[in-house]
Amino acid sequence: MKKMKSVFVWGTLTLLLLSTRMVFAANEIIVGFSGPLSGIASDYGMDMFNGLDMAAKEINEAGGVVVGGKKHAIKLMRLDDKADPTQALNNAKRFRADGAIAIFNGVYTTVAPLMRINEDKGNEFLLMAFTSTPSVTEVGNRLVLCPNVPFTINVDLYTDWAKAKGYKKCAMVTTLGAYGDEWRRAFRAAWEKKGGIVTIDKPANYYMDTDFSAQLTAALATNPDFMLIGGPSGATALVVEQARSLGFKGGFVFIDQAKMDVITEMLGGREKIGNAIAVAGMKTMPEGAAKRWAIKYQGIYKKVATWEGSVHYLMLHSLARAIEAAQSVDDVYKIRAAYPKALPMTLGDYPKGYPMELLGISDNGRWLMFTSIQPITNGKLEEISQYAWWVKSEKEFKEWSKRSQMNVPGIVQKWHAVSE
């Protein structure tokens, strides 16, 4: 009799657990990721997706997103678009057919066409646009959320660095596409305004090519002091390798898509990098939440953690918080409007610590977060400088800096205003 009662109890518990899981599964919030998941840029795409995957699992394991007293699981979908605009549009249509309320994309060449459809009446979706291109938040799209610092701040800081190095002549060998085009235009304008010379502009397809010798040979023939290079990190490492093998001895300025820690690992160290300036790598950050997160990420996904992964991790957590603040799982305008209520997100907010901070959001959807810049001199890392780019005065900077928990030894926080 006791045995039968035990079986009955365990059977009842099992049914209750299964019932709970079925209800939880029925209440899903679908989000989609479209990005380059094949080819030479696949590492870039997978870093973004892995960050989303990590966040989705944490959110679901913690009980999901609670709206109206009901728990909702995050269902994450992914499709390869090979950084092709047409494929990205097709992927977005598939996601929307499945009920996705938000679509993540990290290449401006594919973000731009999605911005033309995400406000279509009756078919709206939040476009989570991982791009530093300033124009993404200049067109008035009410459903775009952009975590990246506008690259104009990098351009200003990088040209100051090159000028301080005594460099005069720059050759540009950056990625093709709308993002690369804007970067080169902005860099040329800033560099020439500061008295520098651009000797040649030879863009390359960093998403498809593995041999950059033609562009590099033409660039080196102009005898540049340094080169502006960059695109996905894997391809950028190849450019550095091939430039050095062709005899280039000068410096490098890396556009913000290229991540220093990935390039360093692929090159087996910083010796070949020499003198350069770039966005600081996660592994070079001082001990704290960012480094702990990077170690955890590498343990799960067996690859170096990058800002692509950490930002997407934060993006999905922020979306979950905004959904709860809005108390709506499908009204995208209401969710977007609730974003300020979900912020700030600082290093101490999450039980295990966010890897970075989201202090606020602008009216046009640009995140307010410090950017971390780090020079390399003769293969040696220098101090990390973090810049609040949205402030207009020292007083305002101090007020924002008080909210941050990243002002730690090894990092110097500053402000450097830039207009979008």
Region 16-30: what's the mean pLDDT? 55
* Residue 13 pLDDT level (bands cut at 50, 70, 90): very low
* Residue 23 pLDDT level (bands cut at 50, 70, 90): very low
Domain ranges of the chain: 6-149+289-368, 152-286+370-415
> Could you tell me which residues come within 8 angstroms of residue 230 by beta carbon, excluding any fewer than 6 positions away?
174, 175, 183, 206, 236, 254, 255, 256, 257, 258
How is residue 46 written in tokens?
């997978």
> Could you tell me which residues come within 8 angstroms of residue 142 by beta carbon, excluding any fewer than 6 positions away?
119, 333, 336, 365
**Which helix H or strand E contains 362, and what residues bound it?**
none
Domain 152-286+370-415 has CATH 3.40.50.2300: yes
Question: Per-residue pLDDT tens for 344-378?
Answer: 998 766 555 688 889 999 999 999 999 999 999 99
Region 30-40: what's the mean pLDDT? 95
pLDDT of residue 3: 43
pLDDT of residue 49: 98
* Residue 26 pLDDT level (bands cut at 50, 70, 90): low
Fold: same for 6-149+289-368 and 152-286+370-415: yes
Q: What angle do CA 180, 183, 185 make, to 5 degrees?
A: 110
Cα dihedral 301, 303, 305, 308 sign: negative
pLDDT of residue 417: 78
Q: Which CATH class is domain 6-149+289-368?
A: alpha beta
Q: Write down the pTM of the prediction.
A: 0.85
Region 15-37: what's the mean pLDDT? 67
The Cα 89–Cα 84 span in angstroms is: 9
pLDDT of residue 304: 86
